[in-house]
Chains A and B, each alone.
Chain A
Amino acid sequence: MIKATNVVKIFTGRGVPVRAVDGVSAHIGKGEVVVVIGPSGSGKSTFLRCINGLEAFDEGHIFIDGVDLAGRKTDLNALRAEVGMVFQQFNLFPHKTVLENVTLAQRVVRKRSRQDAEIKARTLLKKVGIAEKESEYPSRLSGGQQQRVAIARALAMDPKVMLFDEPTSALDPEMVGEVLDVMKQLAREGMTMCVVTHEMGFAREVADRVLFMDEGKLVEEGTPEHFFTIPTEERTRLFLSQVL
């Protein structure tokens, strides 16, 4: 489904270049839920953003369903439509109602009729449990509700894979559960997911595989059991001892 080989992303901001992603190779199979963890600044977000082409990487290849993101002829826009992304800061469109947030890209990108788009949107809003808020503007919703709309918005494109970048980090603790529940349900339905999170409980319960990144490198990879009981790398152990 997704195959990354030797991906390198270098930021050359002021002064020293930062190797934010430093030779990461990974794969995500169809229907698999992969959780990426690691300390702050380890390049998790950057790696995720490379996967849907929001960030152009400097070396390596990322294949999505066999299509090379780095290929010169690749239509990035078409590819992005197949890859849903949920952001830490929700990034809902504040000038659109909840319903419009979910229908806009369907109509603009997928060229669906208004009616079809609205039917799809209402089904998804019901699924994430906020059907009754469809005509509200995002600013009137709680963080948890906004994030669930954002998930519905991404799902509306019928993506082949969903990427989550710390979807619960900006939420008040009492709202984390409702968002995680939606994600768990998605996982049960067989959605291919790649989730960056600090929610170790979620990783343990839902993940098929866990990737641990540090300083741009993929340090360790394994099943949750392996990961949380007998990690092999020293850095992984150190990190887990800090967060658990």
Chain B
Amino acid sequence: MSAPLIETRGLGMRFGGVQAVRDVDFVLAERELRCLIGPNGAGKSTFFKMLTGQLHPTSGTVSLRGRDISRAEPHEIARLGVGIKTQVPSVFDGLTVRENLWIAAARTNRGARIRSVVDAMLEQVGLAPVASAIVGQLAHGQRQWVELGVVLSTDPELVLLDEPAAGMTDREVARTVELVREINKTKALIVVEHDIQFIRKIASKVTVFNQGAVLVEDDVEAILHNPTVRDVYLGKKVAA
């Protein structure tokens, strides 16, 4: 049997006195779709940063297809096929939408192929009408789409989405759900999301983080009926 796409062992991250992530054993199969939930400050974004090399873990290891990437640099991990949409949108604000996608597509493509990838992506994320707009001048929701397009334009094999639906309208959220399903036809994904309706629609396996550790891992319906999970996280929201 070959190694899983992502495997962490005893993964931990400590910031001074704060243990942001502790002892996480996490496995993701090829082409799997996983949701990551948990209250604010549970360590989800920190976990993502360790998967992408933005932070080097203070304990434990991260492996990508059996290869230890715990100390690798972000650009090295990106070149192994991992793309991330960060929680705070990170795009090239001074450039146009098209230029943003071009930079991404040019990393993995050459010549005329770059342009065709960009054109296809503009259609896929619905940004063709604003292709020549400067990204910094777009609305927050549209910048989220730009970042999604940028991440997908490098054609990664694992896509990490940190709260992709934040600040989106209902229609945009529905479109994001559709897009996640589309992406999942060819790629593995981990999605951090607060919106339970969103997770229900994706209907995938869910990992619950609490205080930096994995609380439980199960199918979405089982998670929604798990009393401990309701206690630490969902209680208020499901009741509401």
- Asked if A and B are interacting partners, one says no
Q: B residues engaging A (CB < 8 A)?
A: none
